[in-house]
Structure 1
Amino acid sequence: MIAIRSIFRALLLTILALQISFSLIAASVDIPAYIDFTEQPGYLPLVKGGNAIPIIGGGNEDDAVVRAIDQLRQDFEKVTGVEPIVTPDHVSAGSKTLLLIGTLGRNPLIDQLVKQKKLDVSAIRGQWEASLTQTIDNPLPGVEKALLIVGSDRRGTIYGIYELSKQMGVSPWYWWADVPIQRHSAVYARSIKTISQPKVKYRGIFLNDEAPALSGWAKEKFGGFNHEFYEHVFELILRLKGNYLWPAMWGSAFYDDDPENAIWADRMGIVMGTSHHEPLTRAHDEWRRYGKGPWDYQQNAENLRDFWRSGIRRMGARESVVTIGMRGDGDEPMSEESNIQLLEQIVNDQRKIIADETGKAAKETPQLWALYKEVQDYYDKGMRVPDDVTLLLCDDNWGNIRKLPDPAAKKRSGGYGIYYHFDYVGGPRNSKWINVSQVQRVWEQMNLAYQYGVDQIWIVNVGDLKPMEYPISFFLDMAWNPNQFNASNLLQHTESWCAQQFGEKYAKESARLINTYTKYNHRITPELLDENTYSLENYGEFERVVEDYRNLLIDAMRLYYILPQQYRYAFDELVLFPINACSNLYEMYYAVAKNRFFANKNNERANYWADQVKRCFERDSILTVHYNKDIANGKWSHMMDQIRIGYKIWQEPHKSTMPDVSYLPMTKPKHKIFIEADGYVSMEAENYHIASGSDKVAWTIIPDLGKTLSGVTTAPVTNTPNEQVYLEYKIDLRATGKAKLIVLTSPTLNFNANKGLRYAVSMDGGAEQEVNINGHYRGELGEWQAKRIIETATTHLIEKAGLHTIRIRPLEPGIVFQKIILDVGGLKPSYLGPPQSEYKRDD
């Protein structure tokens, strides 16, 4: 009995653990999973047997909802190959099931169900962006069952629609990251009733520092930052349950570049803002285009007020959050003469413009004042704005929040927001190229903000958008419901996100790769990384971090080739490329460090590492071309144009520049002394003590040529060596007497009119012996050539033990030396020769 209870208890704990695990994953979307692809009793078929459930909705709806419903229709087709019939506000005869979508007060069928008390909407009525998803039996005459998606407002309805799309398998990143959509022949809805509503009111992204990558891409694909470009951005934000955008602004102007931009934002349901230093909806670049006089309120107040007034007039009744305040021209601090009294006057004048142009009290238009950089100092010194203005607190541009509200302070009607950074242009160096944001740090800082009452605006600088896919998803998921996350379930979010992009089977390993590479990138940004970042000598620190990335790349490549073909573009963009490119960067700077280490010691190994630097630098360019031209058949051209190599100051260079390296001349002594052991001394030809050249002939090593390590020859091969050209080898002998000096060369034929290729050899400066390695050759084939080596030998008398010098001097070009062996004890023939002898340094 006790055993049975123990088993039952263990089983119960397992079930509870599975439920907890499931609830955490489900909480990542704030709505339990209610879509399935296999039928169970009580499920509502949405697509079955080639037929799709009819969709009722859109008749009297806002344009944004109508568009989202049409997107849902297309999503059904992408998943199942079947398109539902969409009718605006009536049920077709014979429809026994239906999908009913609408906003309270805009859909007569939903309002009828509420009036008949068949649908309880008390939890969402009057709420901000709330949605109700519910299955109902017998909702309307002749209808047996329906799935309802009901919004408290237009975005509440939209979020319910896109949640259904996501649960069917349409990733919010299907377009922006080429995530494939898995096909299913049937789709079913489980019985459900759930409410979903955001915890943070305005949740969005800021496209910033967007040249050269995003701007180059948008210009090539869309002709610039026009409404065709922004349509994709708006849809992504909505599918991620965001609602707010600060548009691209360096050299761009959202309202001025394409008048359709603002129309499409409102048509799709996006709340528009402008960045922290662009007051009253006017882009910074618009002052360059149309401004009169200096950007200085003390000298040019009237022209500035006219400039701002036209911005509010242009905004009209569209949903916006208006930035107020003023910084210096070009996102710089204002002059030292600027004071709190002047800034307060600027804010008062701006609010009067807002009231005059909108025809309603200023407090009825959402506004923010960004306490960015020096502006926070003004606040700390006592500057205040009206209570209805949201105080937008900021991080330090590197993900560390500078200021939070005092929990004991009086509540403000405008509340607080946070401006956060995944991308930054500024000191000590820009951080623009690739994702360096750990979600663990993002969670820790944004959780701190939320717990201190920051819940009005969350906006994050995402640079070019494209390389920041995962942290954008996490940031907006967290903004929707910060309480769903804790320190122990962050990796579950990564795994859930990866399952959405690459499938359940590959989710854990993909998540581990993302989690690990962002951990590595959080150590130091790629732009700050250089040959001095890590130590070569401090417990091999640099080698260890390089090895970390190298091993991670091996794992990423392994998974890439295991993945089904359709996932590879997405995996390359989201996982493999960041690891591949950053690993290569680490390899390059490690090679720079090694090059300088050996160059400082006058060691020719510096040349090897210099070549490695060159290879890595070239590979960086190849990887860039691969991303821009190969992935998705060139869809993301220019998206990896951002410079990351060659920084000298905080700002990016105009082009990538390979780090400086040092090459040492091959005539430099190697200072190696070989020690006799077991009756012989064996030396690779490249391990000379001295390689002496002339002004017309130099020595060159051909790596991997021949039987063992390499070959050594003279260059150029058309120049005949003179007496200055020779190799010397130092040996330490114990034996005396006759010794045989064996020289192994490559099987070069006597191409010089059968005269043969000759070298001269001497011991300790004595008389030279001349050797012709192939003078005997007369064109016969298929005999000695197959041995791949020419062995020649001379005899020398060793009169005393100790140090001796062997000099080999080529008399013709074209001889390739491979190995030198001094036999003082009778070696057995071997064309590999004995292993290289031990040597000691003599420097």
Structure 2
Amino acid sequence: MLRFLLFILALALSRAAGAADPWITQTGKARDFALVSRTAAAPLMYDQADAAVVAHAVRDLAADVERVTGRRPEVKNSLQQAPATPVVLVGTLGGSVADALASSGKIDPTALHGAWESFIIATVEAPMPGVPRALAIIGSDPRGTAFGVYELSQAIGVSPWYWWADVAPARKDALYVAAGTRRLGPPSVKYRGIFLNDEDWGMQPWAAKTFEPEHGGIGPKTYTRLFELLLRLKANTLWPAMHPGTPPFNSNPANAALAGEYAIVMGSSHAEPMLRNNVGEWKEPAAAYNYLTNRDGVLKYWDERLATNGSYENFYTLGMRGIHDSHMQGPKTDPERVGLLQKIFADQRALLESRVNPQVEQVPQLFCAYKEVLGLYRQGLEVPDDVTIMWPDDNFGYVRNFANAQERKRAGGFGVYYHLSYLGAPMSYLWLSTTPPALVWEEMNRAYDAGAQRIWIANVGDLKPAEINTEFFLQMAWDIKRWRADNLPQFLTEWAGREFGAAHASEIADIMAGYYRLNYRRRPEHLQWWLPKEQPRASGWTVDEAAERLAQFTRLRERVEALAPRIGEDKRDAWFELVAYPVTAAALANQRFIEGERGNLAAARAADARLDKLTDYWNTDLAGGKWRHMMAQEPADRQWPSFRLAKWTPPGYASEPPAPATMRSTVLAADRFDARRAGASARWQLVPGLGHTGAGAMTLFPATAAPVHPGRIALDAPRLSYRVRLDAGEARAEVHLIPTYPNAGSVLRLAVALDDGPVRLVELEVKDGGKEWAQGVLDNVRTVSAALGTVAAGQHTLHLYGVESGVVVDKLVLTQPLPAGR
């Protein structure tokens, strides 16, 4: 009985942790729906009067069923063609298929009425005369219907990345859908999507030279594949590629028309108001892009785009910056910039009233407070109440601003513009996607809780190899509750199981978790310790730290190599793209750097040559040449050298011998506390997989908890306690923080105390954009310390108090001077 109860408990916990419901099987029960039996595939039916995106999704489902079973279902676009066999009925509420089922009582559409992008998948008996059984996929709106179709595709075993990462589905002889009704939606975040950016070294040359040279680069063929991917990931919004050299999205009218067919909401980046691609479309001198001196010319330029694209579904970026991610031209002071921006808002909204909708408050609009623009907002810039304010991260994954309680009353709400790839200071990261999903989870949950629920956009660079992070970001946007602190590590296991099968899922997930952990300590693109224009200098690692890092990367690489022969032949391309290349490339980049610093130049050059060969394979033979010109090591060229690392060469500097130790250090991983006490309004919570030390970092939940008054920290603040043995003498506590931003203001606050001693408030000024911040985001750590006074030798207890939300603690280090002569 005890074993049975433990089994039931484990089953319940696994379901609570987000384990997939096996509602598609190869052996059906009596009332299950035979999508594909061993003799036939059920026809797919939709109404030709439904939206074009529904037709696209149904045709994709037919192809997906064939990919899995070898049988391609017949597709019919009229109810009058219904055969006397089980069928799949697909339709949007308000259309003939859905309404016929609802009026006859075969489905209950109540939950779909007025819902955004929601759907049901239901087995139905005798749906219409002559048809014995149906599987109904009904959406509240056309995108909801399409999401329902693609949900079924993924459930039968087709990865959203089947094309973009060459993930071949496992073959199955039959597919049965369990009887019952499943409902998904509405999404947690209304608009969810990606920004295809910094495409110069991957997506654009690949499109121009390999995939669609007839269009000179990224065009209709690429966007068709991209729109399909977004729908499979339940995303609905795209900021298109926009760098110099890439054809502007709207230079080919077919692109916008395709977006309309696929029901993708088009937008434009923080530097491109009103759907304009400035670097490709502004034909006058750059100095003329000045609202003070050329208001009529700029307004005409914006109005032209609304005239051609205003009938499509768009999310309009308001405001104005420079031509390409630069300051607005014209005004000289911040007050002048604030005043001009408010005039620009009024003029842009007048254009929207004229071209899009006289009720302009119903037109989706956003104001992205990126870089210097956030400072203008903080100085009093007034954004129309119905316009969504989009908070940026600091380009390294740390959200820079959070709405307070008063701001959260705004009708337009808030969003987040988040980087998974970045070209800019202090150093870019454009090559390998190494942001830990745990960091995305911590920051985006915090932003969501503070009201950023209307639009999320992730800058994904060239998209490849950012597949894992892109999907995780969009999964969170679709269902913010799917991944929680108690099941977050399961994400990589589920991902690996879907892409490569259950047999190797745990091993692959563990490899990728190690990959994110090691690269969080230092990204491959940041393997130099001097910034551009500075003199080269040695790394900050000690001899032992460098040796341990090299050993850890070597073990990861060897695990990948050992597992490779056991990956099925049909999965080899996906394995290389998603696991083998990023892990091996990161390991070789570290081996090259560390061996070079140690003076082992033969080993360093060998790693460099192997890395070149590995990348060359991607760009020549991978997937039969499908991805030629897609992958480039960073730095790929000499563009923007002021914020990119130098191309690796054997170091010309000498590593200095370590200075003699003068301090004794005791390291305490933040998650390895001996006691935990909840506070009056918050508690310490583990973020598994985040940080450099232990199993994860500790942060405060809920993110919206009010700060603790300094006089009540000992009584009301949540507390972690650590037992530690100290020598007699002076002691100091260093707290190593993840470089997050406070909920308000510019100071992170926490407190420490030793035993029953005084509570010492510890504050860290973020200094956003400064030298300390730059070093912090490259190291992914900020350090703050407090003196603990003179202590007696023996056992002590260090208390860590959470004073304000936003603090994320990785580890604590207690330091004491070494006695003379030691």
TM-score (structure 1 length as normaliser): 0.73
Residue by residue over 1:257-306, the C-alpha shift from the partner in whole angstroms, topping out at 9 and shown as x without a partner, is: 32100000111111100111101111122444357852111111110011
2:268 maps to 1:264:
no
1:254 and 1:262 in contact (8 A); partners too: no
**Quick one: distance in 2 between partners of 1:195 and 1:289?**
49
Alignment of 1:155-194 (within 5 A): 155-194=143-182
Counterpart of 2:110? 122
Q: Which runs of 5+ in 2 are unaligned?
A: 530-536, 655-822
Deviation at 1:578, TM superposition (A): 0.7
Aligned residue runs from structure 1 range 408-807, under 5 A: 408-409=406-407, 411-530=409-528, 534=539, 537-538=542-543, 540-595=544-599, 609-644=600-635, 650-652=642-644, 656-661=647-652
CA–CA distance in structure 2, aligned partners of residues 314 and 246 of structure 1: 17
Alignment-derived partner of residue 837 in structure 1: none
For the pair 1:294 / 2:259, whether they are aligned, the reply is no
Note closer, same or farther for the CA distance 1:645–1:354 as it changes in structure 2 (3 Å cut): closer
Q: Which moves more between the two structures, 110-119 or 511-520?
A: 110-119
Residues of 2 paired with 1:196 and 1:291: CA distance? 50
Contact 1:64/1:268 (<8 A) preserved: yes
Match for residue 65 of structure 1?
Answer: 54
Q: Is the 8 A contact 1:534 1:542 kept in 2?
A: no
1:143 is displaced (CA, Å) by: 2.7
Give the drift of 1:17: 1.4
Structure 1 contact 58–88 (Cα < 8 Å) conserved? yes
2:71 to 79, 82, 100: 82
Does 1:219 find its partner at 2:208?
yes
Asked whether the 8 Å contact 1:536–1:543 carries over to 2, the reply is no
> For the Cα contact (< 8 Å) 1:213–1:642, is it kept in 2?
no
Aligned position for 1:19: 12
Q: Which residue of 113, 119, 135 corresponds with 1:147?
A: 135
For 1:739-764, what per-residue CA distance to the aligned partner results, in whole angstroms no more than 9, with x for missing partners?
A: xxxxxxxxxxxxxxxxxxxxxxxxxx
Corresponding residue of 1:833: none
Q: Mean alpha-carbon deviation: is it higher for 249-258 or for 324-333?
A: 249-258
Residue in 2 that maps onto 1:706: none
Against the structure 1 CA distance between its residues 645 and 160, is the aligned structure 2 distance closer, same or farther, given a 3 Å change threshold? Answer: closer
Cα distance, 1:657 vs structure 2 = 4.7
Q: For the structure 1 residues 219 and 642, does the alpha-carbon distance in structure 2 shift closer, same or farther, using more than 3 Å as the test?
A: farther
Q: Distance in 1 between matches of 2:172 and 2:438?
A: 35
Q: C-alpha separation between the residues in 2 aligned to 1:161 and 1:629?
A: 35
- Evaluate the alpha carbon distance shift between residue 125 and residue 646 of structure 1 in structure 2; reply closer, same or farther with a 3 A threshold: closer
The answer to whether the Cα contact below 8 Å between 1:434 and 1:468 also exists between their aligned partners in 2 is yes
Secondary structure of the equivalent of 1:145? strand
Moved more, 158-167 or 143-152: 143-152
Q: Secondary structure at the match of 1:417?
A: strand
Displacement after TM superposition at 1:410 (Å): 5.3
**Counterpart in the other structure of 2:183:** 195
What does the per-residue CA deviation read over 1:317-345, in whole Å, with 9 as the maximum and x for residues that have no partner?
Answer: 11100000011232112253342111101
Number of the residue aligned with 1:234: 227
Gaps of 5+ in 1: 1-7, 596-608, 664-843
Paired with 2:44 and 2:203, the residues of 1 have a C-alpha distance of: 37
- Of the structure 1 ranges 241-250 and 218-227, higher mean CA displacement relative to structure 2 is found in 218-227
**CA RMSD, 1 decimal:** 2.1
2:25 paired with 1:45 = no
1:26 is displaced (CA, Å) by 4.2
Instruction: Tell me by how many angstroms 1:455 deviates.
Output: 0.7
In the alignment, the residues of structure 1 paired with residue 611 and residue 626 of structure 2 have an alpha-carbon distance, to the nearest angstrom, of 20
Q: Is the 8 A contact 1:56 1:91 kept in 2?
A: no
- Which stretch of the first structure deviates more once superposed, 517-526 or 260-269? 517-526
For the pair 1:320 / 2:309, whether they are aligned, the reply is: no
In structure 2, C-alpha distance between the alignment counterparts of 1:555 and 1:73, rounded to whole Å: 38
SS of the residue 2:304 aligns to: helix
Q: Structure 2: how far apart are the matches of 1:536 and 1:184? A: 51
Alpha-carbon shift at residue 577 of structure 1 (Å): 0.6
Structure 1 counterpart of 2:552, one-letter code: D
Distance 1:93 1:263, change over 3 A: closer
1:802-835 deviations in Å (ceiling 9; x for gaps): xxxxxxxxxxxxxxxxxxxxxxxxxxxxxxxxxx
In 2, the alpha carbon distance for the partners of 1:615 and 1:410 equals 55
Contact 1:50 1:185 in 2 (8 A): no
Q: Given the superposition, is the C-alpha separation of residues 316 and 588 from structure 1 closer, same or farther in structure 2, using an over 3 Å criterion?
A: same
Displacement of 1:113 in angstroms is: 2.0
1:283 aligns with 2:292: no
Q: Report the residue type matching 1:636 in the other structure.
A: W
Q: Are 2:291 and 2:298, in contact at CA under 8 Å, matched by a contact in 1? A: yes
Q: Which amino acid aligns with 1:542?
A: A
Report the equivalent of 1:305.
299
Q: How does 1:350-389 map to 2 (within 5 A)?
A: 350-389=348-387
Cα deviation digits, residues 710-734 of structure 1 (max 9, x gap) = xxxxxxxxxxxxxxxxxxxxxxxxx
Q: In structure 2, what is the Cα distance between the partners aligned to 1:502 and 1:357? A: 49
Checking the alignment, whether the CA contact within 8 Å between 2:369 and 2:391 is kept in structure 1 is yes
Q: Deviations over 1:628-673 (max 9, x none)?
A: 11221221112212424899954347x945233589xxxxxxxxxx
Aligned match of 2:120 in 128, 132, 139? 132
Other-structure match for 2:688: none
**What is the DSSP-based 3-state SS (H/G/I as helix, E as strand, rest coil) of the residue aligned with 1:325?**
coil
Provide the TM-score with structure 2 as the length reference: 0.75
Q: Partners in 2 of 1:185 and 1:395 — Cα distance?
A: 47
Count of aligned residue pairs for this structure pair: 636
The 2-side partners of 1:615 and 1:57 are apart by 58
Look up the match of 2:87.
98
Quote how far apart the aligned CAs of 1:521 are. Answer: 1.2
Q: Secondary structure of the equivalent of 1:519?
A: helix
* Whole-angstrom CA distance in 1 between matches of 2:180 and 2:57: 21
SS at match of 2:366: strand
Q: Which amino acid aligns with 1:566?
A: D
Report the Cα offset of residue 627 of structure 1. 1.4
The 1:533–1:416 alpha-carbon spacing in structure 2 relative to 1, beyond 3 Å, is farther
More deviation, 611-620/412-421: 611-620
Structure 1 position 593, deviation (Å): 1.2
Q: Counterpart of 2:534? A: none
Q: What's the CA shift for 1:484?
A: 1.6
Contact kept in structure 2, 1:478 and 1:484, CA below 8 Å? yes
Deviation at 1:451, TM superposition (A): 1.1
Amino acid at match of 2:575: F
Distance in 2 between residues matched to 1:366 and 1:521, nearest whole Å: 38
